């Protein structure tokens, strides 16, 4: 008699999470998913919030759990969701972040240029579908929004998807920033489906208001915290320098997987090759951390200084403004930085960086949050909310930054 493989995981956010026997259990055991244990959920945020060291694997488990809870709630309201659809939706959310590389969003468009993690997640899912004899076909359709029941896709990627519900609570808990805590269970219980669209019952409007406010606050206070941004820019410059040196034929210490992506500029089409996908699956935070530690003593002075700054947490100084910085001001920052960097003309662009960041708490382009009154009357949340009536939360807030060095004391190892 075959033994059941059902397991229970104790999660600090949701308590006990059931891992069902069958496809989901087998997916969790696969190396593609296990690698997420070694990828930081919040990138370099731990340099500001030391407790923020949780992994993408934890987030995947939590999202899967919330998907199950949400679908059971919708079933209790009379909506037809078959066991196969429930399993497929749970697989879709379990795998939704499998395409993340080292340090998650920090290196998302740099490790492999101009390729979003969603595209890589889809590549992994298609590969796994082949390995699992087509058992992920429905999950992929839900992930892509091609399945007839569109509300299932909305739970994977939408204004109130379970991905957002999990990461707000989880990141708030591990960072210690209380502003991210939301009425998770109440939001789930208030979700409903009207005309194949996810909606919220009217009595849940206050929980949704809190959700939108919390999400905006978490972006400014945690995800886009200026010191986190400075650390991310430093790591981006390290990777840029390493790729530049590798292109010149300089041999740098790197794991085989990291070396491949330093040497080769891959496209999304390349990930149709199992060898490239498997190489990317070998990458996690440890590849970058070990390389950066060794590169602190690299022969290239620019790379060595950048890496030493990150390892010793001597980060860029950063300024944020609501308006773009004048060219004259950036030139002034460049002159102030030059005494503290290697005396070579190509060093300056690595140590004075300018750019912008945006904060979208509620992106109407990807859908609206509809509040249901009675049995079928739907109204946009901004038409009925007192707190959000000014629509400040629906706009895009953009800020501009300059990172530079005002001083630098070399580290004595």
Q: Is 196 exposed, middle or buried, given 0-12, 13-18 or 19+ CB atoms closer than 10 A?
A: exposed
Mean pLDDT of 371-400: 79
Q: Where are the alpha helices (DSSP H) in 250-300?
A: 256-263, 274-281, 285-295
CA distance 303 to 374: 62
What does the pLDDT read at residue 341? 94
What does the pLDDT read at residue 201? 96
**Continuous segment of H or E residues that includes residue 371:** strand 370-373
User: Which residues 6+ apart lie within 8 Å of 84 measured at CB?
Assistant: 138
Q: 142 — phi, psi (to 5°)?
A: -65, -45
CA distance 247 to 244: 5
User: Which residues 6+ apart lie within 8 Å of 320 measured at CB?
Assistant: 226, 399, 400, 401
β-pairing, 370-373 vs 197-201, is parallel
User: Which residues 6+ apart lie within 8 Å of 351 measured at CB?
Assistant: 237, 316, 337, 340, 341, 404, 405
Mean pLDDT of 363-374: 81
**Which one is predicted more confidently, 71 or 366?**
71
Mean pLDDT of 176-183: 90
Tokens representing 67 are 């998907």
pLDDT at 43 over 80: yes
What does the pLDDT read at residue 1? 46
Mean pLDDT of 130-147: 97
Three-state DSSP at 19 gives: strand
Q: Is 367 exposed, middle or buried, given 0-12, 13-18 or 19+ CB atoms closer than 10 A?
A: middle
Asked whether the beta carbons of 362 and 159 are under 8 A apart, the reply is yes
pTM: 0.94
Mean of the per-residue pLDDT values for the chain? 92
What does the pLDDT read at residue 395? 64
**Continuous segment of H or E residues that includes residue 217:** helix 205-218
Asked whether the beta carbons of 338 and 348 are under 8 A apart, the reply is yes
Domain 7-224 architecture: Orthogonal Bundle (1.10)
Asked whether the beta carbons of 170 and 58 are under 8 A apart, the reply is yes
C-alpha closest to that of 81 among 139, 149, 136: 149
Q: 379 — phi, psi (to 5°)?
A: -140, 140
CA distance 61 to 80: 24
pLDDT, one tens digit per residue, over 221-262 is 999 999 999 999 999 999 999 999 999 999 999 999 999 999
Domain boundaries, the chain: 7-224, 226-357
DSSP 145: T
pLDDT at 389 over 60: no
CA distance 150 to 85: 12
pLDDT, one tens digit per residue, over 9-25 is 999 999 999 999 899 99
The reply to whether 226-357 shares the fold of 7-224 is no
**Which one is predicted more confidently, 60 or 385?**
60
Query: Which DSSP string corresponds to 325-369?
Result: PPHHHHHHHHHHHGGGS-SSGGGHHHH-EEEEEEE-S--GGG---
Domain 226-357 architecture: Up-down Bundle (1.20)
C-alpha closest to that of 185 among 359, 69, 305, 297: 69
């Amino acid at each position: 008699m075959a033994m059941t493989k059902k397991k229970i995981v104790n999660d600090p956010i949701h308590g006990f999470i059931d891992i069902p026997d069958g496809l989901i259990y087998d997916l969790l055991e696969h190396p593609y998913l296990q690698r997420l244990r070694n990828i930081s959920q919040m990138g370099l945020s731990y340099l500001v919030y030391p407790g923020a060291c949780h992994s993408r694997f934890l987030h995947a488990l939590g999202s899967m759990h919330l998907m199950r809870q949400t679908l059971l709630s919708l079933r209790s309201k009379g909506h037809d969701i078959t066991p196969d659809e429930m399993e497929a939706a749970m697989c879709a959310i379990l795998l939704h972040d499998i395409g993340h590389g080292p340090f998650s969003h920090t290196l998302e468009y740099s490790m492999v240029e101009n390729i979003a993690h969603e595209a890589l997640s889809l590549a992994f899912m298609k590969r796994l579908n082949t390995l699992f004899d087509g058992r992920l076909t429905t999950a992929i359709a839900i992930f892509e929004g091609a399945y007839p029941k569109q509300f299932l896709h909305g739970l994977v990627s939408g204004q109130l998807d379970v991905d957002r519900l999990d990461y707000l609570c989880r990141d708030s808990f591990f960072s210690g920033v209380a502003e991210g805590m939301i009425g998770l269970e109440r939001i789930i219980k208030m979700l409903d489906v009207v005309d194949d669209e996810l909606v919220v019952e009217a009595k849940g409007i206050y929980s949704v208001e809190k959700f939108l406010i919390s999400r905006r606050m978490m972006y400014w206070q945690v995800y886009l915290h200026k010191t986190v941004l400075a650390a991310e820019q430093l790591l981006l410059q390290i990777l840029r320098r390493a790729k530049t040196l590798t292109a010149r034929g300089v041999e740098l210490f790197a794991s085989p997987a990291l070396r491949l992506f330093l040497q080769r500029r891959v496209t999304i089409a390349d990930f149709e090759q199992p060898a490239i996908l498997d190489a990317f699956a070998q990458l996690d935070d440890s590849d970058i951390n070990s390389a950066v530690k060794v590169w602190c003593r690299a022969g290239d002075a620019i790379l060595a200084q950048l890496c030493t700054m990150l390892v010793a947490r001597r980060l860029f100084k950063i300024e944020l403004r609501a308006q773009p910085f004048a060219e004259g001001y950036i030139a002034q920052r460049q002159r102030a930085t030059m005494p503290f960097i290697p005396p070579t003309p190509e060093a300056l662009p690595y140590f004075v960086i300018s750019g912008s960041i945006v904060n979208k708490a509620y992106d109407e382009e990807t859908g609206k949050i509809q509040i249901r009154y009675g049995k079928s009357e739907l109204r946009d949340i901004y038409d009925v909310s007192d707190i959000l009536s000014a629509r400040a939360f629906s706009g895009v807030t953009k800020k501009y930054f300059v990172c530079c060095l005002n001083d630098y004391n070399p580290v004595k190892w």
